[in-house]
Amino acid sequence: MRTQIINHPLVAHKLTLLRDENTPSTTFRSLVEELVTLLAYEATREVKVEPCDIVTPVAPMTGTRMSKPRPMVVPILRAGLGMLEGMIKLVPNAEIGFLGLKRNEETLEAITYANRLPDDLTGRQCFILDPMLATGHTLMDSIDYLLERGAKDVTCICLLAAPEGVKAVEEHVGDRADVKIVFAALDEKLNEHGYIVPGLGDAGDRLYGVVD
């Protein structure tokens, strides 16, 4: 498994605003969108392309276009939905599949409550959107879900990660597939409730409000 932290002053600036507890939901949502577009620029560096012939107003040339099948973007509900706009701004021709995973706050394990994805993902480049890589359970279950359907090339875009979560996902994936995680910052640790420290709190609640 490969990991990449996007070290860029604009990412650091926007992430600091995002972490601030005084940042209201509307600003938080816009910042998530902007950050994902910046992360996605790097996360899509290996997206499959092919040559194509076009004619400019001046001359014929061979250009580049994205190959088929189109990439599959998979936001993990609920918080990953807040990342979708930022991703499709950059890759508007991607297909979108949904996975609903929620963590049990006592065991910290992930529970799948919804899915809307093709049964066959053979040959598809998949991009998972999940803002917080904390214990890693949600990401491990999501990656397994895609690998079981034939995906071999999976990139996860996260805003923040905890070292414990990165290690758990790395051990879980092993050499089963080419999995890459791109994130804006690697934080210090998890607290006893499984929250990333210093983190930004509950990403879903900050995007959409508290539900339970």
123, 12, 120, 116: which is closest to 74 by C-alpha?
A: 116
Least CB distance from residue 195 to ligand URA, whole Å?
4
Decide whether 76 or 121 has the Cβ nearer to ligand URA: 76
- Contact between 132 and ligand URA by CB under 6 A: the answer reads yes
Least CB distance from residue 144 to ligand URA, whole Å?
19
- Contact between 202 and ligand URA by CB under 6 A: the answer reads yes
Least CB distance from residue 107 to ligand URA, whole Å?
14
Least CB distance from residue 100 to ligand URA, whole Å?
15
Cβ atoms of 166 and 136 within 8 Å: the answer is: yes
- Contact between 196 and ligand URA by CB under 6 A: the answer reads yes
Distance, CA of 159 to CA of 15 (rounded, Å): 8
Least CB distance from residue 146 to ligand URA, whole Å?
20
- Contact between 82 and ligand URA by CB under 6 A: the answer reads no
Decide whether 80 or 86 has the Cβ nearer to ligand URA: 80
Strand partners, 63: 52
Q: Amino acid identity of 82?
A: G
The residue from 15, 134, 154, 181 that contacts ligand URA (CB under 6 A) is: 134
- Contact between 199 and ligand URA by CB under 6 A: the answer reads yes
Count of chain residues binding ligand URA (CB under 6 A): 9
CA dihedral 4, 10, 16, 17 (to 10 degrees): -130
Cβ atoms of 165 and 136 within 8 Å: the answer is: yes
Q: Which span (11-19, 37-45, 175-183, 202-210) binds ligand URA, by CB under 6 A? A: 202-210
Distance, CA of 90 to CA of 209 (rounded, Å): 27
The token pair that represents 163 in the structure block: 């070292």
β-pair type (196-197, 189-190): antiparallel
The token pair that represents 117 in the structure block: 């994805």
Chain CA centroid to CA 113, Å: 19
Q: Which span (41-49, 68-76, 81-89, 194-202) binds ligand URA, by CB under 6 A? A: 194-202
- Contact between 195 and ligand URA by CB under 6 A: the answer reads yes
Decide whether 181 or 196 has the Cβ nearer to ligand URA: 196
Q: Tell me which H or E stretch contains 186.
A: strand 178-186
**Residues near ligand URA, by CB under 6 A:** 79, 132, 134, 195-196, 199, 202-204
